[in-house]
């Protein structure tokens, strides 16, 4: 790990403590739009705070509606016809989602680390 990425990781540590706290995520996460929650989670994820990013998005996803980003699409075969709210992503699915969404952020971080 380069000095630049170590500094960046340390710079984001206070935010990781705040947004990665389960109570904060559960109480405030659903108040953010999906795009806002993603930006926070991706910033944490690419700076090495994966667990905090997952906790944050998990708290955000608890308030999802059917058409939101962190919920499974309606699937009658999985019993969704009997549900009032969607099945939200679990922690493994959130990690997979973050990995898929992080490409552009990681490219920027790699460029920063090389500087």
pLDDT confidence of residue 107: 73
Question: What are the sequence ranges of the domains in the chain?
Answer: 3-78+86-114
- The full length of the chain comes to 115
Of residues 19, 79, 107, 5, the one with CA closest to residue 47: 5
Contacts of 72 by beta carbon, 8 Å cutoff, 6+ apart:
78, 86, 87, 88, 89
pLDDT confidence of residue 90: 84
pLDDT confidence of residue 34: 86
The model's pLDDT over 75-104, given as tens digits with 9 standing for 90+, comes to 666 666 676 777 778 899 889 989 998 887
pLDDT confidence of residue 4: 65
Cross-strand partners of 71 = 88
The model's pLDDT over 17-72, given as tens digits with 9 standing for 90+, comes to 999 999 999 999 989 988 899 999 999 998 899 999 999 999 988 876 666 676 66
Burial label, 18 (beta-carbon count in 10 A; 0-12, 13-18, 19+): middle
pLDDT confidence of residue 42: 93
pLDDT confidence of residue 86: 72
Residue 110 has pLDDT above 70, yes or no: no
User: In sequence order, what E strands does 1-115 have?
Assistant: none
pTM of the entire predicted model = 0.80
Residue 12 · residue 43 · CB < 8 Å: yes
Query: Would you state the structure tokens that stand for residue 50, as one six-digit string?
Result: 């994966």
């Amino acid at each position: 790990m380069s000095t630049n990425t170590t500094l960046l990781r340390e710079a984001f540590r206070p935010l990781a403590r705040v947004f990665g706290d389960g109570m904060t995520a559960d109480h405030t996460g659903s108040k953010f739009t999906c795009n806002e929650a993603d930006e926070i989670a991706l910033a944490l994820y690419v700076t090495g705070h994966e667990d905090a990013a997952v906790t944050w998005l998990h708290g955000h996803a608890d308030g999802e509606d059917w058409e939101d980003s962190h919920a499974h699409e309606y699937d009658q075969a999985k019993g969704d016809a009997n549900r009032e709210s969607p099945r939200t992503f679990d922690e493994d699915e959130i990690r997979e989602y973050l990995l898929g969404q992080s490409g552009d952020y990681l490219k920027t971080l790699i460029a920063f680390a090389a500087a």
